[in-house]
């Protein structure tokens, strides 16, 4: 009887041990899979950019008064500004979390689009010096800076940020497909941009 009881207890302990080991191994396997998925996503996430070209005319005038404000001296110029602008995302700033229980990768943060570079080529037309107010080298430097700021102020109305966000959506959908091939799901329920853009696409 004691031998039979020992066999039963031994069998039960062995079964529990194997079950516990398999359960623990399965959890470790899922956790490892989550880490691999996130690392794989990070490896394909690169800087994406949208390029825009601008051609703008900028009028510049500067008036200085001399001799007790009796005589006004004006210098002026017309600037033709050709510019190339790059808007993009640093996708290395994406933040992801893994929910091992539901096998979901949760998107917790996606960077906003930002101006990466503004390259300007300025040509001067109708540049005229005032008699007491002439263009100096420093004036041209300041004009180049002003022309760059002028282009930057034009960017929000150009639609480049909207285009960049659509590029971001394509990137998120690509990540979603990558995750689905591993049997996981991408959860971006709290990501406003994706929700809004998805409604437009459906």
* Domain ranges across the chain: 2-201
Distances (CA, A) of 108 to 36, 89, 192: 18, 16, 11
**pLDDT digit string, tens, across residues 28-41:** 666 676 777 777 66
Q: How far apart are CA 169 and CA 172, in angstroms?
A: 5
Under DSSP, the state recorded for 111 is: P
**pLDDT digit string, tens, across residues 40-58:** 666 656 666 789 999 999 9
pLDDT of amino acid 193: 57
Q: How confident is the model at residue 178 (pLDDT cuts 50, 70, 90)?
A: confident
Beta-carbon contacts of residue 197 (< 8 Å; ≥ 6 apart): 165, 166, 169
- The residue that leads in pLDDT, 167 or 57, is 57
Beta-carbon contacts of residue 192 (< 8 Å; ≥ 6 apart): none
Report the chain's mean pLDDT, rounded to a whole number.
76
Spacing of C-alpha 40 from chain mean position:
18
pLDDT of amino acid 150: 93
Q: How many CA atoms lie within 13 A of 17 on its CB side?
A: 6
Q: How far apart are CA 156 and CA 143, in angstroms?
A: 22
The backbone torsions φ and ψ at residue 158, rounded to the nearest 5 degrees and listed phi first, read -85, -20
Contact 172, 197 (CB under 8 A): no
- Using the CB atoms, write b or e for 58-80: b if 16+ within 10 Å: eebeeeeeeeeeeeebebbbebe
Q: How far apart are CA 60 and CA 107, in angstroms?
A: 48
Q: How far apart are CA 45 and CA 166, in angstroms?
A: 16
Contact 141, 117 (CB under 8 A): no
pTM for the predicted model, two decimal places: 0.65
Q: How far apart are CA 130 and CA 51, in angstroms?
A: 39
- Which of 27-36, 68-77, 180-189 bottoms out in mean pLDDT, i.e. has the lowest? 27-36
Q: How far apart are CA 198 and CA 202, in angstroms?
A: 6
Q: How far apart are CA 89 and CA 186, in angstroms?
A: 20
pLDDT of amino acid 42: 65
Mean pLDDT for 119-138 is: 83
Q: How confident is the model at residue 200 (pLDDT cuts 50, 70, 90)?
A: very low
pLDDT of amino acid 47: 65
Mean pLDDT for 128-148 is: 84
- Percentage of the chain beyond pLDDT 70 is 70
Mean pLDDT for 65-94 is: 82
Mean pLDDT for 171-183 is: 84
Contact 50, 164 (CB under 8 A): yes
Q: How confident is the model at residue 199 (pLDDT cuts 50, 70, 90)?
A: very low
Mean pLDDT for 166-179 is: 83
Q: How confident is the model at residue 87 (pLDDT cuts 50, 70, 90)?
A: very high
């Amino acid at each position: 009887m004691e031998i039979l009881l020992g066999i039963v207890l031994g069998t039960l302990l062995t079964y529990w041990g194997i079950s516990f080991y398999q359960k623990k191994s399965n959890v470790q396997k899922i956790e490892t899979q989550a880490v691999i998925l996130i690392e794989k996503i990070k490896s394909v996430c690169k800087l994406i950019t949208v390029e825009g070209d601008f051609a703008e005319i900028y009028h510049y005038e500067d008036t200085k008064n001399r001799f007790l404000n009796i005589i006004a001296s004006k210098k002026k110029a017309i600037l033709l500004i050709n510019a190339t602008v790059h808007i993009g995302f640093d996708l290395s700033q994406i933040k992801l979390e893994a929910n091992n229980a539901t096998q979901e990768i949760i998107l917790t943060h996606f960077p906003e689009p930002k101006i990466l570079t503004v390259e300007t080529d300025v040509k001067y037309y109708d540049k005229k010096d005032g008699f007491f107010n002439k263009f100096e080298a420093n004036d041209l430097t300041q004009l180049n800076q002003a022309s760059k700021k002028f282009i930057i102020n034009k960017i929000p109305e150009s639609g480049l940020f909207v285009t960049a966000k659509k590029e971001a959506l394509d990137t998120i959908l690509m990540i979603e497909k990558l995750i689905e091939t591993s049997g996981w799901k991408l959860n971006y329920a709290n990501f406003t941009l994706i929700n809004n853009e998805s409604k437009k696409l459906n």
